[in-house]
Every structure is written in C-alpha cells, then in structure tokens.
Amino acid sequence: MQIKVVVADPSHIVYADEVCEEILLSARERGTGIARRTPEYISEKILAGKAIIAIVEDGRFAGFSYIETWGGKKYVANSGLIVAHAFRGIGLAMRIKKRIFQLSRELFPEAKIFSITTGAAVMKMNYELGFRPVTFAALTDDPEFWKGCQGCRNYEILETNDYRMCLCTGLLYDPAEHIEVLNPAHPELVNLKDGEQKN
C-alpha cells in the first residue's frame, strides 16, 4: 500500500468534509479540546497552497495538515494534523508533520514556526524537528490567531487567563536558533551550516 504525502491542490477539496470529520472524531476520542474547522476553512487552505494531504494509491484520504501565517508573516502555525483511523500506527503522522514543516520553511524561511497542542505524540514530533516548549507570550500576539481557538472546549480557560496559558502546550521553532538548514529540493533535514556542500 502506497500513501503519497503531497502539497494539496484544488483536486483535493473533495476531501474537506472528511478532514473536518476526522479532526472532530479524534478530539472526541481523546476527550481534549480542539478548535473546530469547517470544510470551507479547509478548502481555503488547500486553494492557498498551504496544506499537506496524504492520499492512498486507491484514492482514500489518509491524513492532513495546514499552515497559517500571523503577525505580518513573522509567525507560521502548523495546525490541524490528523491521520485517518485506518492508517494510524504506521508513521504517517511524522511524514505529514515533516512535510508541513518543510512547506513552512520553503514559503516563509525567516518565520518562527509554532504549534499548540495537548497531544503527547505531536509534542514528540515537534521536539524531533527542533521545536522547544515556550510560554504563550513567545507565540504570536495576533488576536486573529486566538480567535481560532473559540471553537475549542477549553476556550474559557484561555480567555480567563488573558491568553497567557491554557491546557495546550506552546511549541516554537525559531530558525535563528538552529544550525540545520532545509534544502527545498529534498524533504529531509540536513545537518549542514550555511554555505557547506553535502558530498
């Protein structure tokens, strides 16, 4: 069984409803808060070239993630990572996570990339890519970002704490803190300093 992990294009809008259903179902199973997304919202990300989708060779939907920019494109959020139930436990989440991270670096190489999550698996993947835990104060202060949390069951906690803390953990990748560089021609990270060549 082959699963392609690619930048989503307009032909993938047909999966928008399924993406939303999987996100909601996953949140219910974990009993954790998650911001709800509409099929229209997911379609917008696809049309903007800011989404990654995983598709099985027979056309079945397998996974998804998208990015959004905040604070004048100084910050990029990796969001909505989901793997369909039938394809969990085979390493697909990490493939999607690496590709959405790569897309973020390609489109916005100077931006700080962040994620907020309650999931231990997502935290582990972020750590492996060089993210570090931070307080919410280190994330974007763009009010439009925090509006996206309004559909989450824990939004009242966030609002009560003046957007400084919640049940989610904030994770940040600051390109200025890393030696690793991303070669846009290859989907993997390479440990090279700027200007060095890989033999």
> Can you give the residue ranges of every domain in the chain?
3-190
Percent of the chain with pLDDT over 70: 85
Higher pLDDT, 55 or 158: 55
Low-confidence winner among 18-22, 37-41, 173-177, 189-193 (lowest mean pLDDT):
189-193
Look up the CATH superfamily of 3-190.
Gcn5-related N-acetyltransferase (GNAT) (3.40.630.30)
Q: What is the largest CA-CA distance in the chain?
A: 54
Question: Per residue in 25-43, pLDDT tens?
Answer: 877 776 655 556 899 999 9
Enumerate residues 6+ apart whose C-beta is below 8 A from 71: 140, 141, 142
User: Which of these, 78, 117, 132, lies nearest to 101 by C-alpha position?
Assistant: 78
Average pLDDT over residues 86-94: 94
In whole numbers, what is the pLDDT of the chain averaged over residues?
A: 85
Q: Using 50, 70 and 90 to split pLDDT, how confident is the model at 143?
A: confident
Average pLDDT over residues 183-193: 49
Measured CA to CA, the distance from residue 105 to residue 28 in angstroms comes to 32
**pLDDT at 34 (0 to 100):** 58
Q: How far is CA 170 from the centre of its chain?
A: 13
Q: Using 50, 70 and 90 to split pLDDT, how confident is the model at 158?
A: confident
Report helix, strand and coil shares of the chain as percent, to nearest 5.
40, 25, 35
Question: Per residue in 112-131, pLDDT tens?
Answer: 999 888 778 888 999 999 99
**pLDDT at 110 (0 to 100):** 92
* pLDDT higher than threshold 50 for residue 192: no
With beta carbons less than 8 A apart as the criterion, state whether 65 and 96 touch. Answer: yes
**pLDDT at 137 (0 to 100):** 86
The total of other beta-carbon atoms located within 10 Å of residue 20's CB is 20
Percent of the chain with pLDDT over 90: 51
Enumerate residues 6+ apart whose C-beta is below 8 A from 42: 16, 19, 20, 51, 64, 66, 80
The rounded radius of gyration (Å) of the Cα atoms in the chain is 17
